[in-house]
Amino acid sequence: MLQNIRVVLVNTSHPGNIGGAARAMKNMGLSRLVLVQPLDFPAADASARASGADDVLDGAQVVGSLEEALVGCSLAIGTSARDRSLPWPMLDPRECGAKAVERAATGEEIALVFGREHAGLTNDELQRCHFHVHIPSNPDFSSLNLAAAVQVLAYEVRMAWLTEQGAPAKVEKADAGELATLDEMERFYDHLEKTLVDIAFLDPEKPKHLMARLRRLYGRSAVDRSEMSILRGILTETQKVARGEPHKRKD
């Protein structure tokens, strides 16, 4: 089940941190590492800091974008060392561990996303995540070393997993269909944005955080596959009406 939880490191500069993250993961039983455009990898420093977690490093998947790193995931949790301008659903590390384990147990793929050493994650990257997690550190010195942050969250995942091992199996929600994955959600947001431009609800010159707010709304809703096809169908028909093409309305 822990294999359904991947750790995503975005644009890491220091290979030592990649090795440190791999070690932290393996200590806690996590094995899936995804690297988005690391500056220097593979590297001797990474292997040195991994000290024995070479299998995690060897199995690391290197990809070109965060979007690629999230393919197949239905839950992404982004980390942030500080507050951002647009408020977002927040989890503390304990809740993050519990949520990741609870959702991974139903077969979903989960991503924990970590940012750059110097700049963290961009707002755009954070808005691709359903939740944000902040490790409640000293406000005057809030930023942990990247591998240390991975360690804290991996530990919380392990604690939640150990608790779940001892708990009786939960009955799955009867009505829950398979959730839309993040890549399906991305295609939906793309379609939604185009449609909103077609009906002139969204002015590309003055977007006013509209798409970010809609991402936050839909991200809260745990949209399943059949709901997704309804939403896509609505957009397709809306676009036809807006463009004056033949459509389902009879008038």
Q: Which residues bind ligand SAH (CB under 6 A)?
A: 79-82, 114-115, 117-121, 133-135, 137, 142-144, 146, 149
Q: Is the peptide bond before 87 cis (omega within 30 degrees of 0)?
A: no
Q: Is residue 176 within a helix (H) or strand (E), and if so which, with residue range?
A: none
By C-beta, is 28 or 235 nearer to ligand SAH?
28
- Closest distance to ligand SAH from the beta carbon of 6 (Å): 14
CA distance 138 to 234: 47
- Closest distance to ligand SAH from the beta carbon of 145 (Å): 7
- Closest distance to ligand SAH from the beta carbon of 117 (Å): 5
- Closest distance to ligand SAH from the beta carbon of 14 (Å): 11
By C-beta, is 94 or 194 nearer to ligand SAH?
94
Instruction: List 9's β-bridge partners, or say none.
Output: 35, 114
Query: Do residues 235 and 191 touch, judged by C-beta distance below 8 A?
Result: yes
Query: Do residues 104 and 110 touch, judged by C-beta distance below 8 A?
Result: yes
By C-beta, is 27 or 238 nearer to ligand SAH?
27
By C-beta, is 119 or 199 nearer to ligand SAH?
119
Order of strands, sheet of 61-63, starting from the edge strand that comes earlier in the sequence:
61-63, 32-36, 5-10, 110-114, 75-79, 131-133, 90-91
By C-beta, is 81 or 212 nearer to ligand SAH?
81
- Closest distance to ligand SAH from the beta carbon of 181 (Å): 22
Query: Do residues 33 and 56 touch, judged by C-beta distance below 8 A?
Result: yes
- Closest distance to ligand SAH from the beta carbon of 121 (Å): 5
By C-beta, is 21 or 179 nearer to ligand SAH?
21
By C-beta, is 116 or 240 nearer to ligand SAH?
116
Query: Do residues 97 and 160 touch, judged by C-beta distance below 8 A?
Result: yes
- Closest distance to ligand SAH from the beta carbon of 115 (Å): 2
How far the first Cα of the chain sits from its last, in Å, is: 53
CA distance 25 to 19: 10
Query: Do residues 110 and 131 touch, judged by C-beta distance below 8 A?
Result: no
